[in-house]
A and B are shown apart, each in its own frame.
Chain A
Amino acid sequence: MADSTLKQLVLGRKDVQDLSDTETELPPDLMTVNMGPSHPAMHGTVRIVLTVDGERIVKGDVQPGYLHRCFEKESEHATYTQVFPYTDRLNYVSPMINNCGWAMAIEKLMGLTDRIPKRVEYIRVIVSEMSRMTDHLSCVGASAMELGAFTAFLYFLKSREWLYELLEKVSGARLTHSYVRVGGVSKDLPADFDADLTLCLDKIEGVMVEVEGLLNNNKIFRDRMAGIGAMTKEQAIATGCVGPIARACGVDYDVRRDHPYSAYPEVEFDVPLGTTGDCYDRYLVRVEELKQSIRILRQCLKQIPDGPTMVDDHRVGLPPKRDTYNTIESMIRHFKHIMDGIRVPPGESYTFVEGGNGELGFFVVADGTGRPYKAYCRSPSFVHLSTASQLIHNHLIADVVPIFGMINMIGGECDK
């Protein structure tokens, strides 16, 4: 975008004399600075072309796309089940939520939504909330570290690791779980999961008391966060912001409460709201959501019923392994299921869940074959990043770091 009113001056083209210390006044011209993509605070995936007046940002052109891996094109060539590993890699700090979102999108097209077993719904809520916690822990921890609070970062990553270890026990993989399936989950929770998670939540609560003590009234942290990158409620709505960012601005909207899915109608939780919409409020909202997630998890552990972990429908579930090896019919069914994929009747639908960063949606068009005709992902990070150039406007270059950290742009999800 060539803005003709802005005079741009590239430092490298200046004469050496111009850079001498004898000049008492700084040159009045605007300067163009490249921030990222190889910049520690840009998380390696975003480039911002800043036009600066001294340290003040006049204009910032945010350019995503460095992590574009063609999620949608690849999905169109994969069976519905094969898309799960791709969704893991969308928001890779909360892959379980993406898994659930994709599974629910397909179930909706197949008309299975009301037939999902209760236990599956609860398991999905449990793993989703654990993923939400890993997401918020990484976001808050990393942002604190970028502002110099390394201790908070280590504490939070330590507790994130406990959750990852538990999720590894559940799914077999630490980071890219691919645990949820269309119609259910791939396997039941491990035997001692109850006790493990309870212990883990108790430990995390302890860590949170410590970290909140370190950060909440920390002068440096507050000075860098409060009043920085503020957005009004109207702006947040018009720019399509969702999740913690919108709630920090006072937008009272949470998919889990307003369009409840899975077992969310059966658990109690509060939706925290901010007032000022700045980075500090975003931090507070995320911390409060962590506590609410713990609350949801404790209720789920109490209420989770026994039952099957896959809907009883031959269209989506694999036959039991014992049958596959012993009867030809099940063998054929298994083969067709793997090779042709789940046959989804023609139709289009938009399904959305509350992801770590807000409304994560899948718009799927099915044509009756085993592969999606179109799979579009409504990624909250992409929407949030589009507000970044407006948020950093008139701030200092140093403020880009907390603003960017609290937007919590996840490259995989934003760039798809």
Chain B
Amino acid sequence: MAQKVLDALEAKFAHAVVRTGSAHGDEIAWIKRENLVEVARWLRDDAAMSFDYPVFCTCIDWLDWKPIGLPPEQHWSEDKPRFTVCYQLRSLTHRHRIRLEIEAPEHDARVPSLSELWPAFNWQERETFDMYGIRFDGHPDLRRIYLYEEFVGYPLRKDYPKEKRQPLVRRDDLPINPIKRAGHEEKR
């Protein structure tokens, strides 16, 4: 349905689109980081596209990506970018949708912010920053949203242990950041 969106996007921004594809009814376009704002602005303002409706923004951390049944070259390795930031957009007028995916390496986990274009992404980018530590350049108010300012690390990254505890109120009788080990009760 929305294949013509991808075709139009590739025709207009050949230099900015890495590749496009469809999966399970979703159209996906991988966009170069430096061209994101330009592409997004066109998607919003062009009459044939008019992606007026922001759906969500999130991030995928590929650190543990070893899918079963796919060849090893599709697994994640050090030389590939670690993060993919996803922006899902929809057009209420044309009823089509698209997902923009932007890759960001670990040492430079930044993506330009789209909160100027769609105010809804303001909080969603804050959430992504809070959970994955992606910096959104140009975001007006990039603070943690769920967690507290003193929190160390980014909990949805794959290398953040699930059992790690970071109590906000420090207690002298508790070690700082106790980590539960298998077979051991957490010491109080």
Contact = CB atoms under 8 A, between A and B. Distances in A.
A241 to B, nearest CB: 8
Q: Which of A64, A239, A385, A415 has the most CB of B within 10 A?
A: A239
Contacts of B53: 237, 240
Contacts of A365: 60
A376 B26 contact: no
A162 interface: no
A350 B99 contact: yes
A348 B67 CA distance: 12
Contacts of B120: 238-240, 383, 386
Contacts of A68: 146-147
A73 interface: yes
A118 B127 CA distance: 38
B85 to A, nearest CB: 12
A345 B69 contact: yes
**Dominant SS at the B interface?**
loop
A251 B92 contact: yes
Given A68-B146, A108-B25, A349-B25, A367 B95 contact: no
B162 A73 contact: yes
Interface string B138-152: 000101011110000
B129 to A, nearest CB: 13
A363 B58 contact: yes
A416 B147 CA distance: 12
A382 B123 contact: yes
A72 interface: yes
B13 interface: no
B21 to A, nearest CB: 11
Interface in B40-71: 52-56, 58, 60-61, 64-70
Contacts of A72: 131, 156
A239 B24 contact: no
Contact of B92 (A65, A108, A237, A369): A237
Contact of B56 (A73, A77, A109, A376): A376
Contact of A349 (B26, B54, B56, B141): B26
B123 A70 contact: no
A233 B23 CA distance: 32
Interface residues of B, number: 41
Q: Which of B55, B60, B122 has the most CB of A within 10 A?
A: B55
Contact of B60 (A74, A359, A374, A386): A374
Contacts of A376: 56, 58
A368 interface: yes
Contacts, number: 102
Contact of B95 (A1, A239, A258, A415): A258
Q: Which of B25, B56, B58, B64 has the most CB of A within 10 A?
A: B56
A346 B92 contact: no
Interface in A338-386: 343, 345-350, 352, 359, 361, 363, 365, 367-369, 373-374, 376, 378, 382-383, 385-386
Nearest to B101: A348
A198 to B, nearest CB: 36
A253 interface: yes
A416 B56 CA distance: 15
Interface string B75-110: 000000000001010001001000100000000000
A346 B68 contact: yes
**Dominant SS at the A interface?**
mixed
Nearest to A368: B68
B145 A237 contact: no
A346 B70 contact: yes
A376 B85 CA distance: 12
A386 B147 contact: no
Contacts of B52: 237-238
Contacts of A349: 23-26
Contacts of B123: 382-383, 385-386
Given A237-B52, A367-B67, A369-B68, A77 B131 contact: no
Interface string A405-416: 000000000011
B155 interface: yes
B55 A240 contact: yes
B119 interface: yes
Interface string A160-197: 00000000000000000000000000000000000000
B146 A363 contact: no
The 8 closest A-B pairs by CB, nearest first: A368-B68, A240-B120, A65-B146, A349-B24, A386-B123, A346-B67, A367-B67, A378-B56
29 contacts: A65-B148, A70-B155, A73-B155, A74-B162, A109-B24, A237-B52, A237-B53, A238-B52, A238-B118, A238-B119, A238-B120, A239-B120, A240-B120, A345-B69, A347-B23, A348-B60, A361-B55, A363-B88, A367-B66, A367-B67, A367-B68, A369-B68, A373-B60, A374-B60, A376-B56, A378-B55, A378-B56, A383-B120, A383-B123
Interface of B: 23-26, 52-56, 58, 60-61, 64-70, 86, 88, 92, 95, 99, 118-120, 122-124, 127, 131, 141, 143, 145-148, 155-156, 162
Given A361-B56, A363-B58, A386-B123, 17 more contacts: A1-B141, A63-B145, A65-B145, A72-B156, A109-B24, A237-B52, A237-B53, A240-B120, A350-B55, A352-B55, A359-B55, A367-B65, A367-B68, A378-B56, A378-B88, A386-B122, A415-B146
